[in-house]
Structure 1
């Protein structure tokens, strides 16, 4: 079995299920650390900062990592803009603090006046007025970017609307297709590779969802490991045209 220097790892369904621990995941991370593998949690969640994600992993899931081990769709969006925006750094944002801070940290100017870009992520306090501004700005020529296309977010109440639902509202209102950043798009993986300094051949993409985690790896040319502790089940990939590179029932089965 091939050895990998870096592991890009999903969170919900892979490392935990909501607030529920997946003990095999903590053991897996410890093995990676003992073998000095590079770990990057690559998540579509744009609402929380890397510091908050790492704190949750340490406090609630017995996984001793720092903000340097976290790469969010908010960070990928900011890195994408740095790569493509040039001097056009005026951005209107629908999103929470994690997204806004990521953009500000990369020198973007947040504004609702003649923005060059409109970025839409998950915002649990969004208003009609914000959707109106986003729609008008895109129709006036601003480039439309979505952090990720996740339609739903697991919660204690059930599956609630996620960023993709908000992106779709704006797409429908503007009739403009957004540039999508998060999994399954390859952009987030490409930005994570650049941030980590790793090559595609050195990385294994680990996740529980064939449609997002595995497809992101496939779309980027990165090897994939599908773990059956979350969304996807063996029957789901039985007829998939491109299979994951590897599959395991739990991460205890993976030999680092």
Structure 2
């Protein structure tokens, strides 16, 4: 089996399931750390800052890491907005992790923002959707942090940021520019950050539509672990097979 020099790793559904720890995920990360194998957590979750993700990994899932090992769709979104240089104003639907980053670099504008950025928001209201709809209609660039329609949790599959973006897409008839997995924007930035060739990397995740397609669509080998979104019985019918499939990360040999 090919020996990979670096790993890009999903979090929710791979390392944990909502608030529930996936023990094999913790053991997998500790094996990487013991062998000094470069790795980067690449997550579509925008609700928390890298520092908050770091603390959650430590306190809830027994994983000690640094913010530099965490690359979120929020960071990728911010990098993309700076590259685009469309303007210096934004309106954000999302939680603190997203708002802190975007409003730290762009001025909040609910009337005529240059960008409308939409992520998961547990306090979503009709007024927030209204402001976003009107701003997009006026020409704001519509950015979706990630296309995840669902979030795997201990309760089951809950609505994700992609579902909110889908609602706004229908309301405005404008398709969002998606940043998160499986899109090239976040993957190009993640590869740049880890500083390795794509042929030496393995993308590890539980969701075929995001994690595994992120690998397939961006020339990176993929490892599907069936602990979250995509179930073992679905593997045989997937349109393009992952490079590798395991039922637990304990089965993966470094």
Answer whether TM exceeds 0.5 for this pair. Answer: yes
TM-score by length of 2: 0.93
Asked if residue 168 in structure 1 is aligned to residue 166 in structure 2, the reply is yes
**What SS does structure 1 have at the residue aligned with 2:120?**
coil
Q: Distance in 2 between matches of 1:38 and 1:215?
A: 22
Q: CA deviation at 1:126?
A: 2.3
Q: Distance in 1 between matches of 2:48 and 2:183?
A: 20
Determine the structure 2 residue equivalent to 1:30: 30
Cα pair distance change 1:158/1:33, threshold 3 Å: closer
Pairs within 5 Å for 1:11-22: 11-22=11-22
Determine the structure 2 residue equivalent to 1:224: 222
Q: CA deviation at 1:231?
A: 2.4
Q: Distance in 2 between matches of 1:122 and 1:21?
A: 22
Q: Distance in 1 between matches of 2:224 and 2:156?
A: 24
RMSD over equivalenced CA pairs, Å: 1.8
TM-score by length of 1: 0.92
Aligned residues: 254
Q: CA deviation at 1:158?
A: 4.5
Determine the structure 2 residue equivalent to 1:130: 128
**What SS does structure 2 have at the residue aligned with 1:8?**
strand
Q: CA deviation at 1:73?
A: 1.1
Listed one character per residue, the Cα deviations across residues 72-127 of structure 1 (whole Å, up to 9, x for unaligned) are: 1111111111222x26232111111101122245x322222421111111111122
Determine the structure 2 residue equivalent to 1:190: 188
Q: CA deviation at 1:140?
A: 0.9
Structure 1: any 5+ residue segments left out of the alignment? Answer: none
Listed one character per residue, the Cα deviations across residues 178-206 of structure 1 (whole Å, up to 9, x for unaligned) are: 10111222322112122332332222100
Pairs within 5 Å for 1:65-144: 65-84=65-84, 86=85, 88-105=87-104, 107-144=105-142
Q: Distance in 1 between matches of 2:202 and 2:235?
A: 18
Q: Distance in 1 between matches of 2:100 and 2:50?
A: 11
Determine the structure 2 residue equivalent to 1:51: 51
**What SS does structure 1 have at the residue aligned with 2:237?**
coil
Q: Distance in 1 between matches of 2:141 and 2:70?
A: 27
**What SS does structure 1 have at the residue aligned with 2:90?**
strand
Structure 2: any 5+ residue segments left out of the alignment? Answer: none
Pairs within 5 Å for 1:206-245: 206-245=204-243
